[in-house]
């Protein structure tokens, strides 16, 4: 019995502490935290009048404050207000969703109404993204390391606004590399990658990228290439044969095509100076050997001008696997260089 009384006392103390904490949050105008703490319990049947009243007051006061702030921001006509407007619309929608599960009689008692903010959210998000992309691009275009550091704030806001923004990865890469003294490039599973392929991937021409590239595993920023698959197609020799006639003369014409290709598939990942992964981009590069030539059996006088123009070629030695892989590696180096120049 003594144990039971002790448990009850501890439970009562915990409940009182929780109520006291929630009341302090309300008095400090931390309305969203009040809603986060109490709304789930009300959804599950807690009909405590004081708690319901505290949630209702928090809900209406927070929404009123956001509404007034949104109107004031819009009145400025400035483009930099839209990230805050979007976040405030998100807060209003989130509060509305948190109370959606309340019993109908409670909703009616606290004057809860479903808010239709979808159009406002979409419009505000689009304007916020446009501003944040433009501002980050401007700062990253000055060539100043200080400006590049300042751009990070806007990119964090952009990620909060829309992680799927098509400009986000490119801007994050540019920002991370702009503040770095050097950029390191490496290959995952390096021991499984042929040396000749590693060399061409690492081989950037002078001035090709705006960073000092080093072949190290640790640096201020990192580009990591993962080659997940190397595909070599079989050698193909296709033939198409047809006859041509002219003035009673006949020739058999054969168009020959030799093909073979090497394809590299994998990903390129980017990390900033803190080792945080900025994003991953898949790649697929292909090097294809293709040789076309035409042969004629019979009287060439029977051939058309087009056929005659294709004569003169011949069968050629098909490149070995290593040669095609090497060429595909050069194309991968070009792809990485192009990404780093963006």
CA distance 249 to 238: 26
Q: How confident is the model at residue 87 (pLDDT cuts 50, 70, 90)?
A: very high
Summarize the confidence of residues 42-67 as an average pLDDT. 92
- How much is the pLDDT for 78? 96
Q: Where are the beta strands (DSSP E) in 129-248?
A: 183-187, 213-214, 221-232, 236-246
Q: Is a pLDDT exceeding 90 seen at residue 153? A: yes
CA angle 171, 78, 118 (to 5 degrees): 75
Mean pLDDT of the chain: 88
Range in 25-39, 158-172, 177-191, 240-254 the model is least confident about: 177-191
pLDDT bracket for residue 10 (50, 70, 90) = very low
Sign of CA dihedral 163, 164, 169, 172: negative
pLDDT of residue 178: 86
In this structure, is the dihedral angle defined by the CA atoms of residues 113, 116, 120 and 122, taken in order, positive or negative? positive
- In this model, does residue 283 exceed pLDDT 70? yes
φ, ψ at 315 (rounded to 5°): -60, 140
Q: Kindly write down the DSSP assignment for every residue of 1-52, as one continuous string.
A: -HHHHHHHHHHHHHHHHHHHHHHHHHHTT-HHHHHHHHHHHHHTT---HHHH
pLDDT at residue 295, rounded to an integer: 94
The answer to whether residue 338 scores a pLDDT higher than 90 is no
> What is residue 17's predicted lDDT score, i.e. its pLDDT?
43
pLDDT tens track for 284-295: 999 999 999 999
Q: How far apart are CA 226 and CA 68, in angstroms?
A: 51
Beta strands in 233-276 (DSSP E): 236-246, 249-271
Residue percentage of the chain with pLDDT more than 90: 63
> Which residue in the block uniquely carries the two structure tokens 């439970």?
11
- 77 CB-near residues (< 8 Å, 6+ apart): none
The residues, ordered by sequence, that sit 6+ positions from 192 with a Cβ below 8 Å of its Cβ are: none
- Burial class from Cβ neighbours inside 10 Å (0-12, 13-18, 19+) for residue 11 reads exposed
Per the model's pLDDT, the better-predicted residue between 210 and 151 turns out to be 151
Structural domains in the chain, sorted by start: 18-176 (no CATH), 183-341 (3.30.160)
Pick from 234, 240, 255: which is nearest to 318 by CA? 234
The predicted model gives 85-98 an average pLDDT of 95
User: Residue 3: pLDDT band by 50, 70, 90 thresholds?
Assistant: very low
Torsion of CA 155, 160, 164, 165, to 10 degrees: -40
The per-residue pLDDT for 11 is 40
Q: Over range 128-136, report the average pLDDT.
A: 97
């Amino acid at each position: 019995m003594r144990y039971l009384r002790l448990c009850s006392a501890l439970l009562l103390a915990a409940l009182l502490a929780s109520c006291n904490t929630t009341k302090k949050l309300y008095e400090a105008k931390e309305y969203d935290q009040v809603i986060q703490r109490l709304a789930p319990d009300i959804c599950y049947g807690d009909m405590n009048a004081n708690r319901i009243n505290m949630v209702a007051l928090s809900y209406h006061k927070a929404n009123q404050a956001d509404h007034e702030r949104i109107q004031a921001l819009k009145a400025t006509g400035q483009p930099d207000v839209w990230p805050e407007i979007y976040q405030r619309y998100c807060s209003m929608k989130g509060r509305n969703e948190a109370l959606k599960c309340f019993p109908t009689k409670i909703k009616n008692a606290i004057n809860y109404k479903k808010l239709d903010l979808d159009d406002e959210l979409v419009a505000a998000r689009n304007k916020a993204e446009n501003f944040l992309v433009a501002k980050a691009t401007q700062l990253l275009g000055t060539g100043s390391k200080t400006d590049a550091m300042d751009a990070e704030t806007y990119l964090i806001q952009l990620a909060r606004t829309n992680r799927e923004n098509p400009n986000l990865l490119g801007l994050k890469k540019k920002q991370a590399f702009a503040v770095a003294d050097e950029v390191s490039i490496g290959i995952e599973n390096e021991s499984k990658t042929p040396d000749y392929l590693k060399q061409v991937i690492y081989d950037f021409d002078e001035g090709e990228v705006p960073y000092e590239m080093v072949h190290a595993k640790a640096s201020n920023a990192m580009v990591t290439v993962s080659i997940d698959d190397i595909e070599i197609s079989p050698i193909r020799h296709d033939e198409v044969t047809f006859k041509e006639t002219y003035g009673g003369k006949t020739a058999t014409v054969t168009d020959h095509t030799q093909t073979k290709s090497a394809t590299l598939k994998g990903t390129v990942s980017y990390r900033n100076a803190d080792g945080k992964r900025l994003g991953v981009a898949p790649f697929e590069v292909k090097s294809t050997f293709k040789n076309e030539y035409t042969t004629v059996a019979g009287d060439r006088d029977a051939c058309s001008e087009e056929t005659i123009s294709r004569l003169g070629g011949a069968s050629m030695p098909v490149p070995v696997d290593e040669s095609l892989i090497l060429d595909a590696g050069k194309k991968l180096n070009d792809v990485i260089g192009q990404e780093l120049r963006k």
